[in-house]
Structure 1
Amino acid sequence: MDSIDADASVLVAAPTGSGKTLIAEYAIARARSLGLRAFYTTPIKALSNQKFRDLQNLYGAHKVGLVTGDNAVNPEAPVVVMTTEVLRNMIYSQSTRLDDLGVVILDEVHYLQDAYRGPVWEEVIIQLDPEVQLVCLSATVSNADEVGDWLSTVRGRTDVVVETTRPIELVNHFALFDNASKQCEMFETVISGEPNRHVQRLLSNASQTRGRSSHVGGKKPRRFSSPTRPEIVELLEDNSMLPAIVFIFSRAQCEDAVHSCMKAGIVLTTLEEESLIREIVERHCENLTQDDKDALEFHNFIDDVASGISCHHAGMIPMFKEAVEECFVQGLVKVVFATETLAVGINMPARAVVIEKLTKYTGEHHQLLRASEFTQLTGRAGRRGLDDIGHAISLWNPFVDFEQVVGLALSRSFRLSSAFRPTCNMAVNMVRNHSLDGAHHILNLSFAQFQADKDVVTSEASLEGRKRELLLLERAMADKDSLDQSANSSGTTASSVEAEISLRSLRPGDIVMFDASNIRGRGLIISTAARRSGIRLTVVTPSRKILDVMAKDLRSLPLKAGHTDLPVPFEPARTEFIRESATRLTKARIDETMGKPMEEDRGPRVIDSPLSHKSIKRLRNEIEQMENRVGNRAGSVGSRFMDVIHMLEELNYVSDWKLNEKGEMLAGIFHESDLLIVEVMNRGLLDNLSVNDLVAVLSTLVYEPRGGDTGGAPRWPNEQVRQRFKKIERVSEQVQSIQHERGMHQHRAPNGGLAFETAAWANGRPLSKILDVDLTPGDFVRSMRQLIDLLRQIVATTSNPSLRDTAEHAAKALDHGVVAAASGASGK
Structure 2
Amino acid sequence: MVMNKSELSTFASSLKFELDPFQVKACVALEAGHGVLVCAPTGAGKTVVGEFAVHLALAAGRKCFYTTPIKALSNQKYAELVERYGPSEVGLLTGDSSINSDAPVVVMTTEVLRNMLYANSEALRGLSHVVMDEVHYLADRFRGAVWEEVILHLSEDVRLVSLSATVSNAEEFGSWMETVRGDTTVVVDETRPIPLWQHIMVGRRIFDLFDSRSHPAAGPKTVLVDQDLVRHVKQRQALERVESWQPRGRGRRGSYQSSNDFRPLPRPDVIAQLDQSGLLPAITFIFSRAGCDAALAQCLRSRLDLTSPEQVREIDTIIEKHTGELPEEDLEVLGYRDWCKALRRGLASHHAGMLPAFRQTVEELFVKGLVRAVFATETLALGINMPARTVVLERLVKYNGESHAELTPGEYTQLTGRAGRRGIDVEGHAVVLWQPGVEPTDVAGLASTRTFPLRSSFRPSYNMSINLVERMGAADSRKLLERSFAQFQADRSVVGLVRGIERNEEALKGLQEKLGGADGEYFEYASLRERLSARERALERKGREDRRGDAVESLRALARGDVIAIPIGRHSGVAVVLVPDNDPKDPRPLVLTADQWAGRLSSGDFPEAADVLGKMRLPKHVDHHTARIRRDLASALRSTGISAPRRKKRHKAGASEDAEVATLRRAIRSHPCHSWPDREHLSRIGERYNRLARETQSMREKAAATTNSLARTFDRIIALLKEREYMTAEAAPEVTESGRRLSRIYSESDLLVAECLRTGAWTGLSPAELAAVVSSVVYESRRDGDTVDRVPTAALRHALNDTQRLWSELRSDEIRHKLPPTREPDLGFVTAVYHWASENSLVDALIAAGVQGRALSAGDFVRWCRQVIDLLDQVRLTSTDADVAKTAARAVAAIRRGVVAVDAA
2:346 is equivalent to residue 308 of structure 1? yes
TM-score (norm 2): 0.69
What's the % identity of the aligned pairs? 43
> What residue number does 2:425 align with?
387
RMSD: 2.2
Kindly provide the CA deviation profile for residues 367-418 of structure 1, in whole angstroms up to 9, marking residues without a partner as x: 0111111111111000001111100111224344333211111111111111
2:114 is equivalent to residue 88 of structure 1? yes
Contact persistence 2:289–2:353 (CA under 8 A): yes
Q: Larger Rg: 1 or 2?
A: 2
Shift of 1:274: 0.7
Shift of 1:767: 1.8
Q: Which amino acid aligns with 2:460?
A: P
3-state DSSP class of the match of 1:195?
coil
Kindly provide the CA deviation profile for residues 9-63 of structure 1, in whole angstroms up to 9, marking residues without a partner as x: 1011011111112111111011011111111111112211221222222222232
| Structure 1 residues 409 and 224, CA gap change in structure 2 (3 angstroms) | farther
> What residue number does 1:343 align with?
381
Choose from 205, 210, 218 the match for 1:185.
205
* Partner Cα distance (1:456, 1:446) in 2: 15
Contact persistence 1:190–1:196 (CA under 8 A): yes
| Structure 1 residues 189 and 757, CA gap change in structure 2 (3 angstroms) | same
2:779 is equivalent to residue 711 of structure 1? no
> What residue number does 2:692 align with?
none
The answer for unaligned runs of 5 or more in structure 2 is: 1-26, 215-222, 249-255, 496-703, 847-851
2:316 is equivalent to residue 235 of structure 1? no
Q: Which amino acid aligns with 1:642?
A: D
Shift of 1:293: 2.5
Kindly provide the CA deviation profile for residues 142-180 of structure 1, in whole angstroms up to 9, marking residues without a partner as x: 111111111111101111111001001001111132xxx
> What residue number does 1:800 align with?
881
3-state DSSP class of the match of 1:387?
coil
Shift of 1:242: 0.5
3-state DSSP class of the match of 2:61?
coil
Choose from 198, 206, 210 the match for 1:172.
198
> What residue number does 2:394 align with?
356
Choose from 649, 655, 668 the match for 2:744.
668
* Partner Cα distance (2:312, 2:140) in 1: 40
* Partner Cα distance (1:210, 1:88) in 2: 56
Superposed, 1:603-622 pairs within 5 Å as: none
Contact persistence 1:418–1:447 (CA under 8 A): yes
2:863 is equivalent to residue 776 of structure 1? no
**Which of 1 and 2 has higher RCO (CA within 8 Å, sep 6+)?**
1
| Structure 1 residues 710 and 101, CA gap change in structure 2 (3 angstroms) | farther
Superposed, 1:737-776 pairs within 5 Å as: 737-771=812-846, 772-773=852-853, 774-776=855-857
2:895 is equivalent to residue 814 of structure 1? yes
Kindly provide the CA deviation profile for residues 206-233 of structure 1, in whole angstroms up to 9, marking residues without a partner as x: 4456668875243676797533221221
> What residue number does 1:248 align with?
286
| Structure 1 residues 129 and 454, CA gap change in structure 2 (3 angstroms) | farther
3-state DSSP class of the match of 2:776?
helix
The answer for unaligned runs of 5 or more in structure 1 is: 178-183, 458-630
* Partner Cα distance (1:11, 1:639) in 2: 30
3-state DSSP class of the match of 1:659?
coil
3-state DSSP class of the match of 2:247?
coil
3-state DSSP class of the match of 2:88?
helix
> What residue number does 1:533 align with?
none
> What residue number does 2:408 align with?
370
> What residue number does 1:698 align with?
774
> What residue number does 1:69 align with?
95
3-state DSSP class of the match of 1:190?
coil
* Partner Cα distance (1:792, 1:263) in 2: 45
Choose from 101, 110, 119 the match for 2:136.
110
Choose from 78, 90, 99 the match for 1:52.
78
| Structure 1 residues 651 and 402, CA gap change in structure 2 (3 angstroms) | farther
Shift of 1:815: 1.2
2:768 is equivalent to residue 730 of structure 1? no
| Structure 1 residues 711 and 456, CA gap change in structure 2 (3 angstroms) | closer
| Structure 1 residues 219 and 235, CA gap change in structure 2 (3 angstroms) | farther
Shift of 1:775: 2.2
3-state DSSP class of the match of 2:331?
helix
| Structure 1 residues 2 and 337, CA gap change in structure 2 (3 angstroms) | same
2:708 is equivalent to residue 635 of structure 1? yes
Contact persistence 2:788–2:831 (CA under 8 A): no
> What residue number does 2:159 align with?
133
Shift of 1:289: 2.1
Q: Which amino acid aligns with 2:227?
A: R
* Partner Cα distance (2:172, 2:772) in 1: 47
Contact persistence 1:10–1:161 (CA under 8 A): yes
Contact persistence 2:92–2:106 (CA under 8 A): yes
Contact persistence 2:194–2:420 (CA under 8 A): yes
> What residue number does 1:649 align with?
722
3-state DSSP class of the match of 1:435?
helix
| Structure 1 residues 94 and 228, CA gap change in structure 2 (3 angstroms) | same
2:489 is equivalent to residue 413 of structure 1? no
Q: Which amino acid aligns with 1:710?
A: G
> What residue number does 2:442 align with?
404
> What residue number does 2:569 align with?
none
Q: Which amino acid aligns with 2:301?
A: K
* Partner Cα distance (2:178, 2:88) in 1: 35
Shift of 1:818: 1.3
Kindly provide the CA deviation profile for residues 474-525 of structure 1, in whole angstroms up to 9, marking residues without a partner as x: xxxxxxxxxxxxxxxxxxxxxxxxxxxxxxxxxxxxxxxxxxxxxxxxxxxx
3-state DSSP class of the match of 2:412?
helix
> What residue number does 1:78 align with?
104
Choose from 149, 172, 180 the match for 1:123.
149
Q: Which amino acid aligns with 1:186?
A: I
* Partner Cα distance (2:294, 2:230) in 1: 32
Q: How many residues align?
A: 645
Contact persistence 1:714–1:752 (CA under 8 A): no
Superposed, 1:481-492 pairs within 5 Å as: none
Contact persistence 1:444–1:456 (CA under 8 A): no
Q: Which amino acid aligns with 1:40?
A: Y
> What residue number does 1:578 align with?
none
Tell which deviates more after alignment, 742-751 or 242-251: 742-751
> What residue number does 1:195 align with?
225
* Partner Cα distance (2:286, 2:421) in 1: 21
* Partner Cα distance (1:207, 1:323) in 2: 42
* Partner Cα distance (1:259, 1:687) in 2: 47
2:45 is equivalent to residue 16 of structure 1? no
* Partner Cα distance (1:227, 1:123) in 2: 49
